[in-house]
Amino acid sequence: MGEVYPSLSMYIPEHEVRAVLTYEALIPAIRQALIDYSAGLVDQPARTILRAGNAEGFANGWFAVMPVIAGDFMGVKTVTFYPANAEAGLHTHMAVIELLSRATGEPLAVMDGRLITEMRTAAVSAVALDALAPKTATSLGILGSGVQARSHIAAFRRVRPELKDIRIWSRTQAHAEKLAAEAGGRSVSIEEAAAADVVLTVTSSPTPVVEGRWLKPDALVLAVGATGASMRELDDEAMQSSYIVAESRSCAERESGDVRLSGSSVHAEIGEILSGSVGVPTEPHRTVFKSVGMAIEDLTGARLVWQSRVAK
């Protein structure tokens, strides 16, 4: 720690991020970042979230600031989430990340953070999938058909290519059919998607879309949507009947409506499981991995992008 980096402050747009950031590099880097977080090696305060006040109800966006210090770097992401943007053909999430030297405080780069957010979210899920899913799992049910559904399919194929039975459900069937055609999967009912070995929820629903009675007794549920303490994708039965794992115990219990409103508690952090400091039940069980997104994940992606640019 404390290495002095050359002052190479630059702006990196999304197309340049896309050219250098790969899941092959990002997934193992995220895995180590999650271990470091649970080991207390990351200084990451709670994100600050402000409501935009641009509209009422579902269309009301939010603006968040996410600072972090880890290793030789400091970073801060500003991110917006406007769920109604999808109806206007705009991205629902937009972000900017600033990367700084921890040794000197000098800005190293400012970069578009939308794609980094997209890819690091899928990479976190891929790490959890590889650590928590039974080795016998062959079916993947996806609830949602947007950007995150696509990015997760790409990331999952790096760690579990045997998940070949891909079942996709969306509120808009045409969207599910389109994604199914792209991914070599099937457009199915929500019940059939939820009955898969691995279930991924990437919806923007504010109320539960998954009922526990649909899930297999040994299913792994990767709950990614429902951003915010008052929003949910999983009902009480799904949450209360499961062993719950999170990126961060404090983040999930503060920011996840699935956890808070079901009265559930987080049993373990994924970093604790990855390091071996916490074991998982040995008998067959249902697991929910709840992610809310953390600044250390953004810093990890931004660092890879910056290092690739400097190397060139």
Give pLDDT, residue 8: 59
The stretches of 9-49 forming alpha helices (DSSP H) are 14-20, 23-38
CA distance 289 to 284: 16
Tens of pLDDT, residue by residue over 38-61, are 999 999 999 999 988 888 887 888
Return the ∠ at Cα 98 (arms to 149 and 204), rounded to 5°.
25
CA distance 289 to 200: 10
CA distance 160 to 259: 27
Helices (H) and strands (E) in the chain, counts: 11, 15
Give pLDDT, residue 1: 53
* DSSP output for 100-114: EETTT--EEEEEE-H
Residue 205 pLDDT class (50, 70, 90 cuts): confident
> Which one has a higher pLDDT value, 282 or 291?
291
Q: What domains sit in the chain, N to C, each tagged with a CATH number? A: 11-116+296-311 (3.30.1780.10), 124-293 (3.40.50.720)
Say if residue 3's pLDDT is above 80.
no
Tens of pLDDT, residue by residue over 128-177, are 999 999 999 999 999 999 999 999 999 999 999 999 999 999 999 999 99
Give pLDDT, residue 37: 98
Tallying the residues shown for the chain, one arrives at 312
Task: Locate 47 and state its tokens.
Answer: 């994100």
| H/E element, 79 | strand 73-81
The stretches of the chain forming alpha helices (DSSP H) are 14-20, 23-38, 114-132, 147-159, 173-183, 190-194, 236-240, 249-255, 257-260, 270-275, 295-311
If you average pLDDT over every residue of the chain, what do you get?
A: 94
Q: What does pTM read for this prediction?
A: 0.94
Among 223, 299, 266, 292, residue whose Cα is nearest residue 36: 299
Max Cα-Cα span within the chain: 56
Among 82, 287, 108, 95, residue whose Cα is nearest residue 198: 287
Contact of 247 with 37, CB cutoff 8 Å: yes
Contact of 148 with 201, CB cutoff 8 Å: no
